[in-house]
């Protein structure tokens, strides 16, 4: 029987908050400080979740259930207070309690830092999956890294991105539980000595390795309804002791301390700069550290209830989120063979049946490769194992295809060349029983292009599982007004079954519902307009079309295409060629990798174009361009509910899936996009009348690439619309005080350097934008289309995605 102060009642919550004010914060209730209310609320909720973790664990143990472990280098979990309150069913209780004390719950939520544990879609997807696994009563747990510093805080100085440290742990994090009693020892570096065992068999010994300590921090993950609470375990790196006592005794105290600091640096920051040798080595060490800590912990848990590894694949499923954790193949084999003395073939069978691999990219440069020399320096035993895996694999392929040396070269785990490299995606493919893409188009591209040889060898291993998002975060929490309207109209079953939103379809023709829906969108736009005004001091009209392009800044995501369209419309207006019928506010946000020059130039270009347009009195309020700095989960929760139009305009065949597109659809934005990633399936669900599609198809681009028939300079000479825009960049229209700053764009196009086909899609893009403007002028029709987008977004729930993983890959039952 649980103590009364852990009950989900207003009086019990007040009792536990007062307790933590006194005993955790050493403050006398009542407090008027929002920070105090945040911390006491979080501690009170953590008490409830830790109690439920123990109950959940007992349930799993009694059921002898299979456990799913999700390995990811990123978990972009966002702020946790609101999400936790909703999932525990305590949001209204907390709001009422705080209101009684004269405190606004939104101000309390603002006290929480965004945890800096990820970069973008990959990490946000992982967080959504943890939420869904807990909601679906699946024994599913995350493993990641306890980064002290996140990606970076983005500041803008004269249009340039400046990176500032994101020390998200500078203040107390009330959610995490440090578990030093379960720390693990990780070997690294050293050398291999070649020995034979007593039977004369080869027995390599990994000697002179150094030690890193993996220190776990657990963050509870509560499912909706509060019945199941799983956890996300994050490992921080520590030295094996305060310092190496031998070095200290030799009189070199500073070197001893330096070694300690070096160990602790491993988890200091997310994504070290890998353009320099030390940064590249640190990135590899992070990936190894993640899998080594995770696998030791998984095996420790398994051996608590098992005497051998015969049932390991039946009780353990390990999902590798992209190629970053692919060293799990080699590390699991090393543990089985070296530390538990399993025969190679038996160890390999267990490893392959346990591991599964999710691929998130078709970009060849994003499919990780590590130099053999670097692996030999950092983890020499793992390199040995990778070579052994490759040797056995290649011999099997050669037996099926004798004499086909080109096939062997393509499929080998080792890429030959001036610098030998290990193909990590190939390691993950060979060492897994399943590989999945994350949208229907993406999976087909993997099968027909990137991994076509592997698909021909093992077609049964390939499966598609389209990504999804959790509606608890991206509708219930992010858009409470719309969530309330939906629940009042069709009930609240959609919170755990998003397909129920189909019941809204008839409401798209109901005047009262449409008016309420339109009013909610207007209120969300007013709130975002206030944020824009407070953040970048630009006044925008909430009645204008909020046209939103927010995502990581990258060439293939084609922020440049959007800027070119804005420039084209601006030039049309000032030349008298067009009279704007609808006012538009173009909203950008996103971070560029610190070493990615082109991406950082895009941010500068957006600001310069915006400065010229926003200050041009001839334009007035017809066009506004805004860039909101430091894009993060909490900012996305404000932008997405306010969007009228969602820009998903990547070059077809390059975006694996996208999840931002799904969040916008769920919140009633119409999409303009190419047939790329999940846009294809969104078209199928929403219907062609409720989405704006343009541009070349993936197969058309592939054919043009194969024939090398795309020449941007020809488009420049052929289309005056393109010429007008590129000439503006050439003639410094947007950089009068920084002459020549954007001429590189013009020169690249003239030199036929446009790998992402901007000019090939530009004419269709400006034509569809004209169509969008016309349709926005009919608010009744636009609102109907927006409602139908919400009603038909049910497929894109992460609950459905996780259910598909469970059915096709993990093969486990929920434990109710």
283, 426, 549, 663: which one is catalytic?
Answer: 663
**Residue 803 CB coordination number (10 Å):** 17
> Is 671 noted as a catalytic residue in this protein?
no
Burial status of residue 62 (CB atoms within 10 A of its CB: 0-12, 13-18, 19 or more): exposed
> Is 277 noted as a catalytic residue in this protein?
no
d(CA 286, CA 117): 13
Q: Is the dihedral of CA 117, 123, 127, 129 positive or negative?
A: negative
Contact in structure between 792 and 686 (CB atoms under 8 Å): yes
Of 54, 223, 69, the C-alpha closest to 143 is: 69
- Residue whose pair of structure tokens reads 């390990």 in the numeric block: 318
Residue 496's contacts (CB-CB under 8 Å, 6 or more residues apart) are: 135, 224, 225, 799
283, 473, 521, 552: which one is catalytic?
Answer: 552
* CA atoms within a 13 Å half-sphere pointing along the CA-CB vector of 375: 23
> Is 496 noted as a catalytic residue in this protein?
no
d(CA 315, CA 47): 29
> Is 360 noted as a catalytic residue in this protein?
yes
> Is 135 noted as a catalytic residue in this protein?
no
659, 671, 674, 783: which one is catalytic?
Answer: 659
> Is 663 noted as a catalytic residue in this protein?
yes
Span between the terminal Cα atoms of the chain, in Å: 19
Reduce the DSSP state of residue 698 to 3 states and report it.
helix
Of 452, 395, 390, 460, the C-alpha closest to 420 is: 390
d(CA 440, CA 453): 19
d(CA 354, CA 364): 27
Q: What does DSSP say about strands 435-437 and 355-358: parallel, antiparallel, or unpaired?
A: parallel
14, 557, 568, 586: which one is catalytic?
Answer: 557
User: Residue 574 carries which DSSP code?
Assistant: H
Length of the chain counted residue by residue? 816
46, 79, 551, 785: which one is catalytic?
Answer: 551
Q: At 446, phi and psi to the nearest 5?
A: -60, -45
Residue 345's contacts (CB-CB under 8 Å, 6 or more residues apart) are: none
d(CA 96, CA 216): 36
The catalytic site residues sit at 360, 551-552, 557, 659, 663
């Amino acid at each position: 029987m649980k103590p009364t102060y852990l009950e989900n009642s207003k009086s019990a919550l007040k009792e536990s908050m007062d307790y933590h004010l006194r005993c955790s914060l050493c403050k006398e209730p009542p407090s008027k400080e929002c920070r105090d209310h945040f911390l006491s609320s979080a501690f009170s909720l953590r008490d409830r979740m830790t109690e439920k973790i123990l109950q959940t664990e007992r349930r799993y143990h009694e059921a002898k259930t299979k456990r799913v472990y999700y390995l990811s280098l990123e978990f972009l979990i966002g702020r946790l207070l609101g999400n936790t309150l909703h999932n525990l069913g305590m949001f209204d209780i907390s709001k009422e309690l705080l209101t009684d004390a004269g405190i606004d719950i939104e101000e309390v939520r603002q006290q929480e830092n965004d945890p800096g544990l990820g970069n973008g879609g990959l990490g946000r997807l992982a967080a959504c999956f943890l939420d869904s696994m807990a909601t679906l009563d699946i024994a599913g747990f995350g493993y990641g890294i306890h980064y002290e510093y996140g990606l970076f805080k983005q500041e803008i100085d004269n249009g340039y991105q400046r990176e500032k440290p994101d020390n998200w742990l500078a203040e107390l994090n009330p959610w995490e539980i440090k578990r030093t009693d379960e720390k693990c020892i990780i070997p690294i570096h050293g050398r291999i000595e070649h020995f034979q065992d007593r039977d004369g068999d080869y027995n390599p010994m990994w000697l002179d390795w150094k030690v890193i300590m993996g220190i776990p921090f657990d963050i509870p993950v509560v499912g909706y309804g509060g019945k199941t609470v799983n956890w996300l375990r994050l490992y921080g790196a520590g030295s094996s002791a305060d310092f190496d006592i031998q070095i200290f005794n030799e009189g070199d105290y500073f070197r001893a301390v330096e070694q300690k600091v070096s160990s602790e640096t491993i988890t200091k920051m997310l994504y070290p700069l890998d353009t320099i040798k030390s940064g590249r080595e640190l990135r590899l060490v992070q990936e190894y550290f993640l899998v080594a800590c995770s696998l030791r912990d998984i095996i420790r848990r398994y051996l608590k209830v098992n005497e051998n590894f015969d049932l390991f694949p039946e009780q353990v499923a390990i999902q590798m989120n992209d190629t970053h954790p692919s060293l799990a193949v080699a590390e699991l084999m090393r543990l089985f063979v070296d530390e538990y003395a399993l025969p190679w073939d038996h160890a390999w069978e267990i490893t392959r049946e346990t591991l599964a691999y999710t691929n998130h990219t078709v970009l060849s440069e994003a499919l990780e490769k590590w130099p053999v020399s670097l692996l030999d320096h950092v983890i020499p035993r793992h390199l040995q194992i990778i070579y052994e895996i490759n040797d056995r694999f290649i011999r099997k392929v050669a037996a099926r295809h004798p004499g086909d040396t080109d096939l062997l070269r393509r499929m080998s785990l080792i890429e030959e060349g001036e610098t030998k490299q290990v193909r990590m995606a190939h390691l993950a493919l060979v060492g897994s029983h399943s590989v999945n893409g994350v949208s229907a188009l993406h999976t087909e591209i993997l099968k027909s292009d990137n991994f076509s040889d592997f698909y021909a060898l093992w077609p049964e291993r390939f499966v598609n599982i389209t990504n999804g998002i959790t509606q608890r975060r991206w509708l219930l929490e992010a858009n409470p007004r719309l969530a309330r309207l939906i629940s009042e109209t069709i009930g609240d079953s959609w919170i755990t079954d998003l397909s129920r939103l189909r019941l809204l379809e008839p409401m798209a023709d109901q005047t009262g519902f449409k008016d309420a829906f339109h009013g909610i969108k207007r209120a969300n736009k007013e709130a975002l307009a206030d944020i824009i005004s407070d953040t970048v001091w630009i006044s925008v009209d909430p009645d204008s079309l909020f046209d939103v392009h927010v995502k990581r800044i990258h060439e293939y995501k084609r922020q440049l295409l959007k800027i070119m369209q804005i420039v084209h419309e601006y030039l049309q207006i000032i030349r008298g060629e067009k009279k704007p019928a609808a006012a538009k506010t173009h909203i950008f946000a996103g971070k560029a990798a610190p070493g990615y020059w082109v991406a950082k130039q895009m941010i500068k270009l957006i600001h310069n174009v915006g400065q010229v347009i926003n200050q041009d009195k001839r334009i007035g309020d017809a066009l506004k361009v805004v860039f909101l700095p430091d894009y993060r989960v909490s900012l996305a929760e404000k932008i997405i509910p306010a969007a009228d139009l969602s820009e998903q305009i990547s070059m077809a065949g390059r975006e694996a899936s996208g999840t931002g597109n799904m969040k916008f659809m769920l919140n009633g934005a119409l999409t303009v996009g190419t047939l790329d990633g999940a846009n294809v399936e969104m078209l199928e669900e929403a219907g062609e009348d409720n989405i704006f599609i343009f541009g070349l198809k993936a197969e058309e681009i592939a054919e043009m690439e194969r024939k090398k028939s795309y020449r941007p300079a020809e488009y420049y000479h052929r289309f005056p619309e393109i010429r007008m825009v590129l000439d503006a960049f050439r003639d410094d229209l947007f950089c009068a005080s920084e002459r020549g700053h954007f001429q590189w764009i013009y020169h690249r196009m003239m030199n036929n350097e446009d790998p992402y086909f901007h000019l090939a899609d530009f004419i269709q893009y400006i034509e569809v934008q004209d169509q969008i403007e016309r349709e926005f002028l009919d608010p009744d029709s636009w609102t109907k289309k927006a409602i139908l987008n919400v009603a038909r977004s049910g497929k894109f729930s992460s609950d459905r995605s996780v259910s598909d993983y469970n059915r096709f890959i993990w093969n486990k039952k929920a434990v109710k």
